[in-house]
Amino acid sequence: MPLPPQHYLNNGYGVKSWLLTRDHKRIALLYLAAVTFFFFIGGAFAVVIRLELATPAGDLVSDETYNKLFTMHGVMMVFFFLIPVIPAVLGNFLVPLMIGAKDLAFPKLNLASWYIYMLGGLFTLYALVTGGVDTGWTFYTPFSTVSSTTKVIPTALGIFITGFSSILTGLNFIVTIHRMRAPGMRWFRMPLFLWSMYATSLIFVLGTPVIAITVLLIAAERVFQFGFFDPARGGDPVLFQHLFWFYSHPAVYIMVLPSMGIVSEIVAAFCRKQVFGYEFVAFSSLAIAVLGFLVWGHHMFIAGESVYAALIFSILSFLVAIPSAVKVFNWTATMYKGSISWDTPMLYAIGFIGLFTVGGLTGLFLAAVGLDVHVTDTYFIIAHFHYIMVGGTIMGYLGGLHYWWPKISGRQYNEALAKLSAGIIFVGFNLTFFPQFVLGYLGMPRRYHAYPPEFQVLNVLSSAGASILGVGYLIPMVYLMWSLRYGKVAGSNPWGATGLEWTTTSPPPTDNFTQTPIVTQEPYVYPRVEGRVA
Amino acid sequence: MPELAHHHPALAHQFENLAQQKEASTLGMWVFLVTEILFFGGLFATYCVYRHWYADAFTAASRELIVWAGTTNTAVLITSSLTMALAVRAAQTGERRLLMTLLAATMALGCVFLGIKAFEYYSEYIVHHVPGPGFQFEAEHYRHAQLFFSLYFMMTGLHAIHMIIGLAVMAVMWWLSYRGIITAEYYNPVEVSGLYWHFVDIVWIFLFPLLYLIGRHAH
Ligand SMILES: [Cu+2]
């Protein structure tokens, strides 16, 4: 079986045909290259951090270098990988395909958002090569505005600029989903991935402007000596924390909601069943997006917050568990009595559900004020948010990348290697981060390069896990690249899945469909099957 | 008519027809304005917190602003919103000359606003009200008056940047009208730019009382 004669990948080969493209599918691949680059930079910092922490003494790097390492790790991973990764890569590729449109509503804006992202990345890379930043990715004032002598301004500007690429992506998705749906594609016929993209886009457009103004205030405070957050000049540092977390808590849902959408798609396709409680899953995405804006105060339980504020933020944080649990429950119910095939995407989806559940349940620990005060600024927090952000986001992302890879590239990857690396990642991840729960509970604080010797065993376990995890991330790079040339041709619908993206060729033509599709039924209509047909 | 719409030169390939394109760009601008509200919202929230805490210092500092300049600028901007609204109307009815005149009037008023604003900044610089080591104010309110002026420069500065972007957008609209690209059938760019212009005006409508008028009552 050959590839289709005309598709978006062979529609021009020159550099210009890529760098000036307005095709959402090519822009998705530009993003794929860029976020992968930033992922490995952020990962390199993690490698050095874990090497340093293999021994109790602070012997590999100085404390100042260590501060810069964890800051740059956080900045790179949060702003340049985790936030854009799924929306900008898979969302870009899939939103028009899934609603049966030729492209996003604003293709030029889409390309512009990639350039804006790259410009923001350049600012941050500049900060990195000229000495780095040491404030932590949270930029707490007054340290970031008064004390730190490192490259705060270029990093802040990099984040400010990159924010606009998020805003434009979110705006593009919202308008596209509202105005570009194919005939018959009603809201409740949309695949759940689109619901999650819509909810994510809402956070993009409502949250990102606030972090933009916040980092701008930081830059202004440093450049013009305005005193917004500096007590010596009349300001209040806690106000910074409010503004920062107003965005940065919802940002976690920017990372994890898209993954949830992917898991819904994968679970339906590999259990060959309608997603249990479709409407509940769809609305739980919106509920998470809305509730996510009301809980930021749980990051400030120890920052002099009033008892009443803490109480309310605590209760609201507990409430987020409800829509999250609705999803986990519904995925599980979908699998129940489904005819499950254990292909790589499904392995990642199951991995996601497991890790997200651990991350979410430990989040409930942290929503309780008393326990949070006990473990604030310890490795318990680190472990918790890595379970959500790495265990959640990256598992979902890799699951989605494998699921749609035949659509993106037209070819199938090596299934055995893919399963192997999914297993390695799962084991490596848990070995890295589970010991950190224990470390944090025992009292090891975050952001120090040295620690008491009794913590060494758990730290060595964590470092060993990190090396396994690193290998797990490298293997897909290799076999996915390899498949581009040598992979078996996949055909339009290798998984036998529903959804408009599977009705067009793989890779799709530049205009996505030869004629505008007409939608006549709900998503995930799978015929009943007895056992699996190979 | 649908056949004609299909071949309209301004129709982008991803849309089915001009109506869909118009709806999409209008919705796009509204979503963008929502992000702008959140952007300024962070600043307004900051302002309100400090205004509440340091009411006396903020009142004292507010009295130092040149209120006639702010008032004049408010009138100038409201008038520019009128000419902008009339420009959109002229675009809809396809009156090209009138459209160009009204866009030019809007730009002229925008420039007057920025000119007056620059004069105010200069006056404040002369009397050492720019925050930093050279800041001067009566000792009692020194720190928090400085905070007021930090917010004043940040808020009006960001607003002025938005005005400058608006002027650039209007210049493009003028050029499109001059080239005859804006017609009664395809006037959406003017309408969408108008939304932006009105938004920037409305931000000022909030800035003016918050910054200039809080010290004017009673006392
Ligand atoms: Cu949070």
Q: Is residue A512 part of a domain?
A: no
Radius of gyration of chain B (CA): 21
The pLDDT value given to residue A435: 97
Instruction: Give chain A positions within 8 Å (CB) of B20.
Output: 179-180
If you write DSSP's letter for every residue of A455-507 in order, what string do you get? GHHHHHHHHHHHHHHHHHHHHHHHHHHHHHHHSEE--S-TT---SGGGTS-SS
Q: Is residue A131 part of a domain?
A: yes
pLDDT digits (tens, 9 = 90+) for B75-90: 999 999 999 999 999 9
Question: What CATH number is associated with residue B137?
Answer: 1.20.120.80
Q: Is residue B95 part of a domain?
A: yes
Instruction: Give chain B positions within 8 Å (CB) of A205.
Output: 31, 34-35, 38
CA distance B142 to chain A (A): 9
The pLDDT value given to residue A529: 58
- 208-227 of A, contacting B, C-beta below 8 A: 208-210, 212-214, 217, 220, 224-227
If you measure from the C-alpha of residue A364 to the centroid of ligand 1, how many angstroms do you get, rounded to a whole number? 11
Query: A234: pLDDT confidence band, cut at 50, 70 and 90?
Result: confident
Return the residue matching tokens 């990962």: A43
Structural contact between residues B52 and B214, judged by C-beta atoms closer than 8 angstroms: no
Kindly determine whether residue A243 and residue B147, on different chains, have CB atoms separated by under 8 Å.
no
In the predicted structure, residue A433 carries a pLDDT above the cut 70: yes
Q: Is residue B127 part of a domain?
A: yes
H-helix or E-strand containing B138?
Answer: none
H-helix or E-strand containing A412?
Answer: strand A411-412
Q: Is residue A445 part of a domain?
A: yes
In the predicted structure, residue B4 carries a pLDDT above the cut 50: no
Interchain CB contact of A47 with B (< 8 Å): no
Q: Is residue A483 part of a domain?
A: yes
Q: Is residue B67 part of a domain?
A: yes
In the predicted structure, residue B3 carries a pLDDT above the cut 80: no
Interchain CB contact of A105 with B (< 8 Å): yes
Q: How many domains would you assign to chain A?
A: 1
If you measure from the C-alpha of residue A420 to the centroid of ligand 1, how many angstroms do you get, rounded to a whole number? 33
Alpha-carbon distance A477 to A414, whole Å? 12
Alpha-carbon distance A33 to A201, whole Å? 22
If you measure from the C-alpha of residue A242 to the centroid of ligand 1, how many angstroms do you get, rounded to a whole number? 11
Question: Which domain covers residue A246, as residue numbers?
Answer: 23-501
Which among A105, A224, A516 is the nearest to B24, CB-wise? A105
Count CB atoms within 10 A of the CB of residue A60. 16
When the pLDDT of each residue in chain A is averaged and rounded to a whole number, the result is 94
User: Coil, strand, or helix at residue A411?
Assistant: strand
A533 Cβ partners below 8 Å, 6+ apart?
none
Instruction: Give chain A positions within 8 Å (CB) of B152.
Output: none
Query: A231: pLDDT confidence band, cut at 50, 70 and 90?
Result: confident
Structural contact between residues A244 and B164, judged by C-beta atoms closer than 8 angstroms: no
Our CA dihedral for A102, A104, A105, A110, rounded to 10 degrees, sits at -140
Question: Which domain covers residue B106, as residue numbers?
Answer: 26-213
Structural contact between residues A234 and A305, judged by C-beta atoms closer than 8 angstroms: no
Q: Is residue B191 part of a domain?
A: yes
Q: Is residue A17 part of a domain?
A: no
Kindly determine whether residue B39 and residue A209, on different chains, have CB atoms separated by under 8 Å.
yes
Instruction: Give chain B positions within 8 Å (CB) of A206.
Output: 34-35, 38
Q: How many domains would you assign to chain B?
A: 1
Alpha-carbon distance A49 to A112, whole Å? 35
User: Coil, strand, or helix at residue B208?
Assistant: helix
Query: B7: pLDDT confidence band, cut at 50, 70 and 90?
Result: low
Q: Is residue B5 part of a domain?
A: no
Q: Is residue B17 part of a domain?
A: no
Residues B19-26, mean pLDDT to the nearest whole number? 93
Question: What CATH number is associated with residue A370?
Answer: 1.20.210.10
Query: A533: pLDDT confidence band, cut at 50, 70 and 90?
Result: very low
If you measure from the C-alpha of residue A115 to the centroid of ligand 1, how many angstroms do you get, rounded to a whole number? 30
Percent pLDDT > 90 in chain A is 91
Closest A-chain CA to B35: A205
Which among B39, B144, B154 is the nearest to A226, CB-wise? B154
Alpha-carbon distance B161 to A281, whole Å? 42
Alpha-carbon distance A218 to B42, whole Å? 13
Which among A103, A225, A235 is the nearest to B132, CB-wise? A225
